[in-house]
Structure 1
Amino acid sequence: MRTLIAVVALLVSQPLACLPSFAADGDVIDIGDRRELLVDHFLIDKLDNVRLVLNRPRDEGIALQFDKPWEGLFCGYCTVIKDGDLYRLYYRGRPEAGADGNQGEVYCYAESKDGIEWTKPDLDIFNVLGQKRNNVVLADAAPVTHNFCPMLDTRPGVPADQRFKAIGGTMRSGLVAMVSADGIHWKKLREQAVITTDMVPYKYMFDSQNLAFWSAHENQYVCYFRVFEDGIRRICRSTSDDFLNWSAPVLMQYRHPGGEAPIEHLYTNQTHPYFRAPHLYVAIAARFMPGRQVLSDEQARAINVSPQYFKDTSDAVLMTSRGGSFYDRTFLSGFIRPGIGAQNWVSRTNYPALNVVQTSPTEMSVYLNQDYAQPTSHLHRYSMRLDGFASAQAPYAGGQLVTKPLTFEGQELTINFGTSAAGEIRVEIQDPAGQPIPGFSLDDAQPQIGNEIRRVVRWKQGSDVSSLAGKTVRLRFVIKDADLYAFKFDKPGS
């Protein structure tokens, strides 16, 4: 039955009108001055000839080769952290196949000033393979070095020597917490694991990249980790006030506007607060298709992939969450598809790194571990416009999107959008019953034409909407041959 439902869900396209929302009917949603991205149906009441479209990132090429002797074919479980003007990259070094959590695994470090060009500093901390001039930040710490996953702790008042935190470990150890003042030198927060196997009601767990972060939205730490449920790789969530004591894990569920989302193997989840809208968690997960073999034995030998590492396929999918135990799988199709060439169709490749980071005034980047189990193993960069995971898109004939009732703070409405030369977006502000508010009707609205990350919306009398702040309104976006990526209420000049 589950398989039948999954197939039906996969065939359902985005309906053009009256898509359901996952907020309760009658609710008034307070968005304050938050930036809202068009990645789910949380704020949407009606769509008429408008659909939500997944925008696939652009291939920007190899970002970093895993070419040091202590790195190699089985590097993985990468994390990218933007720390002020410095980009930090952490990744597992593993030149040979072996059991999870073996002593041969280390964690490596690279850094960048722009997120595009990366260097590997000589840290001289650990002697690895007879060399101390290396970029290893963690060694001799198995099994933590199997899937060590750092975070920059943004909790107010965090002690300076715990500015960075990390978790790592397997079923053998549980999830062990570590801390660092500089992101380079690490120590255990305590000897005992903070999340143990006896807390988790599943047979297998932790054998993936597990992660944690401080959520300003929920005012607590959140951890997402891998389990097996009915033989399928799934995700659990736990929360904590102090990073030491964690709540009983909850199995994450999936929502899809066309019905029940398919239960697929998600090898990693890579859930993190989106840096321009931290109430929205973005998960660029590795979807794993066990036994879905593409390459023949001859093709596998030609690319010199390690034996048995070409029997499966994988890609990256996009999910979102606003906290709690649900992911919105608005889009079931692949977010980043495997590229051309046999090397992209081996087992456990195309796994996304944790965190999307800004890499130009208009661009953000996501990184994928590619050519896994091959001599050409590397980290690949993909780019997209700011806020551009998805968009509300209308054709030349035009359409409209109407929000649910909401309240806001601010004096101006700004949009991230792009039109054709013939296209436009106009915005009407309505009362809760759907009637235009005088001065903010569609006839009063100035057409917004162009392609900008931030455009102030105007009506005949100007852009000031402060008279409506705190009142319940609806937004009606009338869209022609254009994409709307996000909107936000701002103070002037913010």
Structure 2
Amino acid sequence: MPIQNHPIRASWLTLAVLAVAAATARCAETENSKQTVRDIGSRRQLFIDNYLIASMENLKRSFHAAEKHGSPVMVPEHPWEGVGTAPWPSVYVFGDVIWDEEQQIYRMWYTTATKDPKGQHATLYATSEDGIRWHKPLDLGIVEYEGSSDNNILIQNCSAETVLKVDDEPDHEKRYQLFTYDRNVNAYAWRFSPDGLRWGEPVTVPAFRGMYDMANVAYDETRKTYALAIKQRHSNTYRHPVLGKHPGVNFRRWIMSTSNDTAHWTQPVDMLGDFDQIDKTLYMEGEGCAMLNTYGISLYAYHGVYLGIQWMFRISDAEGFWNCHGGPMDGRLLFSREWTKPWQIPSRKFVVPRGRKGEWDWGMICGIANRPVKNRTGDEWWYYYGGWDGGHGTSKRRASIGIAKFRVDGFASLDTFGTEGALRTPNLKFAGTKLKLNIDASGADTTGTKNYVKVELMDETGQAIEGYSQSDCDPIHANSVDNVVTWKDNSDVSKLAGRVISVKIHMKGAELYALQFVH
């Protein structure tokens, strides 16, 4: 039966998450015990996995869903956005949002579906000073629509699935880079621009001819590498327990390739593999959906790790099963430390879930920006997304753009849940002069005793380093994404840079999101 109103039962989700967490904790503890030294430089270290954990006491990992802004921040309002001209008026994020340091504004490239002889899709442009109130400049004069160029259209018949601003690109004319399935040439292609407004002609990528209709690219500034996730239509002989076997079922499969120059790409590898038994139990048996597909994947390179949001498409009706067409979508976290290895699904929890029935985004979350932008105060990640009031395959639906808000680094935290606990890292080397924590140690217990975090730095034998012991550390009682650790008012750790040390973090009633040595 249709599943739009059938949420995942919390007990199943909890069991699945606990099973995966327990297994990964055992594996990581064994792996970390074999590691000698982790060189973390000055990169931000997240706690989504156990990479930086040698041991834990009384800590549990929590995964966090987004807090939504509420009402959409952009709605369709013009004929070229489908208002009065298409079955589904729509603005959605097959595109990207960036904070432009030079112009001191947020810039958005978004997609619409419209009824136009030149093509169904178009890439549009908007700006904002605060990320909430958006301005659509109607005087760009770039593309003519119904006899007038007074609109905010940048490219017709093309959805901007990825827009990158690559500051270290030596060719100024290619500083802005757009990758998409370009329907003007019916192929995956790059377009380049000096300003993000006036785009050159499509440059096709022959290596990916014959693929499907969607792809996203991330640029890793550290490695100077592009990573491409691309969708394939894959036929198989999947057997559904009720509907039976169909030899031509189309299955959306994702592969990944990398490049140093946008032109030459590595041999693609399977990105996700088959859905595992936990997924099948949760969604197919639990919700009664016919099949699972990954409709889209948002990609983000962040301090040496790779974050993704998987658009989970749960095909829910018999007709939809055979053509992969009908059903809802929600956003789920993906994670990797290596582009070309299978990505992890750290939690089955939807981090960008649909709204409740009747809300503007209750049908599906389809279209999520590749990377978040920080809000103006710098303590939140904002993911812009396309929310639809009908599921995939419905004949009439409307799409608007909303914001899914996370704490910076806020997909996962290590929590003590009111007790005292501790974390010790493996031996590591770092670069920097200070240690910062993304931590929430605010509040107090029922007796009025304040929550706290204290940090000690230890040598490679596990002994506290003089001047950096737990007793030397000034207790942290703050809620801050960038809290500088001090020991008797001293924050300088530069004399330890390059040495082999480990970090032990003592916590009570606190949540730890990330650590970073900084200059």
- TM-score normalized with structure 2 length: 0.78
Q: Which residue of the partner structure matches residue 144 of structure 2?
A: 127
Counterpart of 2:515 (choices 487, 490, 494) is 487
**Contact 1:265/1:289, CA 8 A, preserved across alignment:** yes
1:366 aligns with 2:375: no
Mapping 1:223-262, distance limit 5 Å:
223-228=228-233, 232-253=251-272, 262=279
Q: 2:222 — aligned with what?
A: 217
Identity fraction in percent: 25
1:162 Cα deviation after fit: 0.8
**4+ aligned runs moved over 6 Å, structure 1:** none
- Residue 392 (structure 1) shift: 1.3
For residues 383-394 of structure 1, what are the structure 2 equivalents within 5 Å?
383-394=405-416
Equivalence for 1:436: 464
Q: 1:195 — aligned with what?
A: 207
Cα drift, residue 255 of structure 1: 12
SS in 2 for 1:188: coil
The one-letter amino acid of 2:347's match is F
CA apart distance, 1:445: 2.6
What does 1:47-446 correspond to in 2, within 5 Å? Answer: 47-60=56-69, 61-72=71-82, 73=88, 74-76=90-92, 77-84=94-101, 85-95=104-114, 103-122=119-138, 123-139=140-156, 142=157, 145-146=158-159, 148-154=161-167, 156-169=168-181, 173-188=186-201, 190=203, 192-197=204-209, 205-208=211-214, 210-228=215-233, 232-253=251-272, 262=279, 265-274=293-302, 277=303, 279-291=304-316, 311-325=326-340, 326-343=342-359, 348-361=364-377, 362-372=379-389, 376-419=398-441, 420-421=443-444, 422-446=450-474
Residue identity matched to 1:394: T
CA–CA separation in structure 2 for the residues paired with 1:416 and 1:189: 42
Is 1:455 aligned with 2:483?
yes
**8 Å Cα contact 1:314/1:348 also seen in 2:** yes
- Counterpart CA distance in 2 for 1:165 and 1:194 is 18
User: How far does the alpha carbon of each residue in 1:299-350 deviate from its partner, in whole angstroms, 9 at most, with x for none?
Assistant: xxxxxxxxx9994111111222233223232222111222122356765435
CA distance in structure 2 between the aligned counterparts of 1:10 and 1:385, rounded to whole angstroms: 21
Q: Could you tell me how far apart the structure 1 residues matched to 2:14 and 2:253 are?
A: 19
Contact 1:194–1:243 (CA under 8 A) maintained in structure 2? no
Q: 1:262 to 1:117 in 2, by over 3 A?
A: same
Deviates more, 1:125-134 or 1:369-378: 369-378
SS in 1 for 2:79: coil
Measured in 1, the distance between the counterparts of 2:24 and 2:206 equals: 47
Q: How has the CA–CA distance of structure 1 residues 90 and 323 changed in structure 2, closer, same or farther, with 3 Å as cutoff?
A: same
Q: Secondary structure at the match of 2:452?
A: strand
Cα deviation 1:83-108 (Å, max 9, x = unaligned): 22222212222136x9xx98222211
Q: Is the 8 A contact 1:309 1:347 kept in 2?
A: no
- Amino acid of the structure 2 residue aligned with 1:314: M
Which amino acid is the alignment partner of residue 159 of structure 1? D
User: What one-letter code is carried by the residue in structure 2 that aligns with 1:487?
Assistant: L
Residue 434 of structure 1: how far off its partner (Å): 3.0
Give the aligned residue type for 1:342. Answer: G
Shift of 1:184: 1.0
The whole-number CA distance in structure 2 between the counterparts of 1:309 and 1:377 is: 20
> Which residue number in structure 2 is paired with residue 3 of structure 1?
none
One-letter amino acid matched to 2:512: L
Equivalent residues of 1:19, 1:47 under 8 A apart: no
Using structure 1 for the length normalisation, give the TM-score: 0.82
C-alpha distance in 2 between matches for 1:426 and 1:16 = 29
The answer (yes or no) to whether the contact 1:121–1:135 under 8 Å persists in 2 is yes
Question: Are 2:306 and 2:339, in contact at CA under 8 Å, matched by a contact in 1?
Answer: no
Contact 2:299 2:370 in 1 (8 A): yes
- Contact 1:66-1:379 within 8 A present in 2 as well: no
| Whole-angstrom CA distance in 2 between matches of 1:309 and 1:71 | 26
Aligned to 1:29: 38
Structure 2 vs 1, CA of residues 214 and 309 (structure 1 numbering), >3 Å: closer, same or farther?
Answer: closer
Partner AA of 2:350 in structure 1: G
Q: Separation in 2 of the partners of 1:23 and 1:80?
A: 37
In structure 2, C-alpha distance between the alignment counterparts of 1:183 and 1:381, rounded to whole Å: 22
Quick check: 2:353–2:365 contact (8 Å CA) kept in 1?
no
Report the aligned-residue RMSD: 3.3
CA contact (8 A) 2:456 2:503 kept: yes
Whether the 8 Å CA contact 1:175–1:206 is kept in 2: the answer is no
Evaluate the alpha carbon distance shift between residue 253 and residue 246 of structure 1 in structure 2; reply closer, same or farther with a 3 A threshold.
Answer: same
Aligned-pair CA distance for 1:244 = 1.4
2:294 and 2:325 map into 1 onto residues whose CA distance is 18
Mean alpha-carbon deviation: is it higher for 309-318 or for 56-65?
A: 309-318
Q: Deviations over 1:391-437 (max 9, x none)?
A: 11112122111112211112221111112232111112223343333
**Matched pairs, number:** 451
Are 2:96 and 2:161, in contact at CA under 8 Å, matched by a contact in 1? no
For structure 2, the residue ranges without an aligned partner over 5 or more in a row are 1-12, 83-87, 237-249, 281-291, 391-395, 445-449
Give the secondary-structure state (helix, strand or coil) at the position aligned to 1:12. Answer: helix
Secondary structure at the aligned position of 1:20 is classed as helix
Stretches of structure 1 that go unaligned for 5 or more consecutive residues are: 1-5, 199-204, 294-307
Q: How far does residue 8 in structure 1 lie from its aligned partner after superposition?
A: 7.9
Instruction: State the distance in 2 between where 1:49 and 1:63 align.
Output: 41
